[in-house]
Structure 1
């Protein structure tokens, strides 16, 4: 397949996305032009009106983007089938969010997770978490921009940085036209097409790989003494550092992070969120299984392995699939990454608007002005993320580092709702945990302690628990917020 065909695929993929995104956005805007100025959370929370299928698909795709596709392909190159734990971690996350944290947030009728911190611990904790959570989600946004660049680069041969610009423009349109409602309904359309494309691609690659099928792929690894690459349990070290570490980091961060909780806040009711779990968990969980298998084959395929861990997997699709399926598959990959990009740009923009601008400067901000400020924030954050995407760190490693920043918030919310709460305890816990996270990342402390391979979530989690429990046991406290209301 020549370069002209590649560009034809790219134009087809981009045309599909633009038609779906702009079409649905324009339709929603035409239906709700009057209601946006008066409906509560019309832009950021879809007026709290989303039905369970839309909530379920949006929850699944919000955390199914660059890390699940290119991050897992890249990680599989290095550690093998144990990478599937990244997907299992997100299934656990969705269970926690749909049975606890998402329900609590919806019950309190908040707009942002820092707002929940304000109800429990006061404005100081709210402001601290606002700044850090917005920064954390923006960090994820830069990785999603990188994923957009990889997709477009793979098809067209353009540099990844230029591909990120093209993808970022579409990603911004994904959300800026009609907000959360647009994200939800576009996701519902894209999710079906995504799974059809992925399954067909897996069948084609299974028939085309030059190793006598998947048994032949396994035989190559065994011949080279790399049997551990075929095991979902990997080695004891990988099970502790990557598998368990990823589960802990994902659950303790994303179950209280604005990016995932915002679709739950947009649900019609708590019952909608509970029902959405049965769609969100399988849609998200199965995806990693396909990607890990393709990543294992790409590492040993002489036709693509020379491209390295970041591009070998995507190149395998280009090598073995017919043009029509390449267009379908990459349209769906682009849709998945665009969904995460849209959620990741909406979340920090919402935090800025509600927790910083409105909370500190404009408490009388009306709904129409709120939507305008949020849109402006979306555009600025998207531009900054696209620029930063050119500096391409390992995707899954970067994600796990970012997740560790929100780990203390997870425990503080649980303690503050169901045990005891204290503003001083919350502020102290946050500061200590964040300082330890910084020391673990940027000093020789892990090496000095003989724990260089231990991910950030472990010291952050331990310090969060120790400091919060100690402080809440000693300082003057109030009863948990839900206990007080009972």
Structure 2
């Protein structure tokens, strides 16, 4: 249970977030302001928003929990995930930002509707898929927030969910992306500096990396290997070479095309940001990810040596980071500060996901499909109501937490990869990709992820992540159907900068 000082600091932190939402609400004059912050995000706000949209509750709780359970063979995750930010900004962002500004896109679905000349069908399908995968991902975020609040205040899981839902929904609803981007900047900076400060100290408290590796090797020699041998011999030993291949595609490309991440590129103020932003985002996240994974290793050693005791919970390993912080914090003031750091990590992606769901429903489904005549005021009202509804649904789904937070996050990313990667890449870089080809790819990817995901979970374990099969199916569908269906107009292909280049040809 948190002491009074920690309680006061956290309450102050929550009030600051709501205050930012109130300030941001005064800047909202139209739908573009609410959804894209008026396309006004500066370099550092945009870059940190990209990092924090990916750097979620998984980063502190899931990554450290995975490090605790599986050791060094999962260290590759610490390269693949930061690469997602760079991949999104470079491969997707440069073109989408340019054509988005020229054509007034507010969402990825606007791009799909324009590039594939499908005002309703592809927009509608991608909108439904976007809401679905965002809800899956959102459940994982609320589960992470609940873990933190239970740890801090000793409350029930359902009470933690309600508190988290009220705080995040409040500032997201009233402030839109202005509120999300500025709260994310604050949360992101707190997270970065906090992890850099606490992780090395905790690693030293556990005896340093040499001692940590010695202890891990006594548990299982493969815990300090670069990967696990095939065939898989234990639940934690899934990171075989073939799985890691699919893991790289899953995290690097799947996260890059997630709706709550890719839509950020439309909000940047200047195209010139895309020159250095990929490298800076990659390096910042790389440092954070490695340190958090090392924390998981350290806590495993401290548990083995009896210095830390994990709670009796189905997802006990996901408490690794917060218990490590509690063990390493030298005094209550430092402890209270790091409590805010953990909250910042788990809240920084949640608000972006909720805004993404509200945006997709209000703009893409309500405004562009159901009621094209709807006023800006009506669209904003529907968007805010959708954010609230997304919070309610995800909180209900999060009542029964998963066994390991990382697995739920990977499932959501797998559906994102299977559904969006091929239509986006095909649309941006292949002039031969057609409307029906994109539809076929999205349908096959979405259905395939469900089929292969179910097979892996309930029938027999696959040697690679299920999304590798479904994204391959989507690629085949795009190519075959596009070769035998009507091509899109050259005028549209030129307007959307379609072709094998990143920068516009002069």
For the criterion TM > 0.5, the same-fold answer is yes
Is contact 1:422–1:472 with CA below 8 Å preserved after alignment? Answer: yes
1:8 aligns with 2:4: yes
1:318 match = 326
Cα drift, residue 444 of structure 1: 7.0
Is contact 1:67–1:395 with CA below 8 Å preserved after alignment? Answer: yes
Provide Cα deviations, 1:432-471, integer angstroms capped at 9, x if missing partner.
22232222122479967xx624211110121112221122
Query: Gaps spanning 5+ residues in structure 1: where?
Result: none
Residue 71 of structure 2 aligns to a residue whose secondary structure is: helix
2:475 match = 465
Provide Cα deviations, 1:353-375, integer angstroms capped at 9, x if missing partner.
11111112221333333222211
Cα drift, residue 61 of structure 1: 0.5
Cα drift, residue 478 of structure 1: 2.8
1:228 aligns with 2:222: yes
Residue number among 340, 358, 367 corresponding to 2:349 in the alignment: 340
Counterparts of 1:119 and 1:462, CA distance in 2: 25
Cα drift, residue 244 of structure 1: 2.8
2:20 match = 24
1:456 aligns with 2:429: no
Is contact 2:6–2:335 with CA below 8 Å preserved after alignment? Answer: no
Counterparts of 2:388 and 2:55, CA distance in 1: 22
Residue 12 of structure 2 aligns to a residue whose secondary structure is: helix
Distance 1:479 1:253, change over 3 A: farther
Residue 478 of structure 1 aligns to a residue whose secondary structure is: coil
Residue number among 77, 80, 94 corresponding to 2:71 in the alignment: 80
2:256 match = 255
Query: Gaps spanning 5+ residues in structure 2: where?
Result: 231-237, 498-506
Is contact 1:298–1:305 with CA below 8 Å preserved after alignment? Answer: no
1:140 match = 137
2:439 match = 427
2:233 match = none
1:354 aligns with 2:376: no
1:441 aligns with 2:457: no
Counterparts of 2:198 and 2:164, CA distance in 1: 22
Cα drift, residue 71 of structure 1: 1.0
Distance 1:228 1:192, change over 3 A: same
Is contact 2:310–2:319 with CA below 8 Å preserved after alignment? Answer: no
Counterparts of 2:274 and 2:378, CA distance in 1: 29
Distance 1:332 1:481, change over 3 A: farther
For residues 159-174 of structure 1, the aligned pairs below 5 Å read 159-174=156-171
1:44 aligns with 2:35: yes
Q: Which moved more, 1:337-346 or 1:163-172?
A: 163-172
For residues 129-208 of structure 1, the aligned pairs below 5 Å read 129-208=126-205
Residue 411 of structure 2 aligns to a residue whose secondary structure is: helix
Cα drift, residue 186 of structure 1: 2.0
Is contact 1:102–1:255 with CA below 8 Å preserved after alignment? Answer: no
Distance 1:328 1:230, change over 3 A: farther
Distance 1:470 1:83, change over 3 A: same
For residues 231-380 of structure 1, the aligned pairs below 5 Å read 231-235=225-229, 238-240=239-241, 242-300=243-301, 301=303, 302-307=306-311, 308-321=316-329, 322-380=331-389
Residue number among 475, 488, 491 corresponding to 1:478 in the alignment: 488
Is contact 1:24–1:186 with CA below 8 Å preserved after alignment? Answer: yes
Distance 1:484 1:126, change over 3 A: same
Cα drift, residue 52 of structure 1: 0.8
2:234 match = none
Cα drift, residue 173 of structure 1: 2.7
Superposition TM-score, scaled by structure 1 size: 0.90
Is contact 2:74–2:239 with CA below 8 Å preserved after alignment? Answer: no
1:219 match = 214
Is contact 1:114–1:126 with CA below 8 Å preserved after alignment? Answer: yes
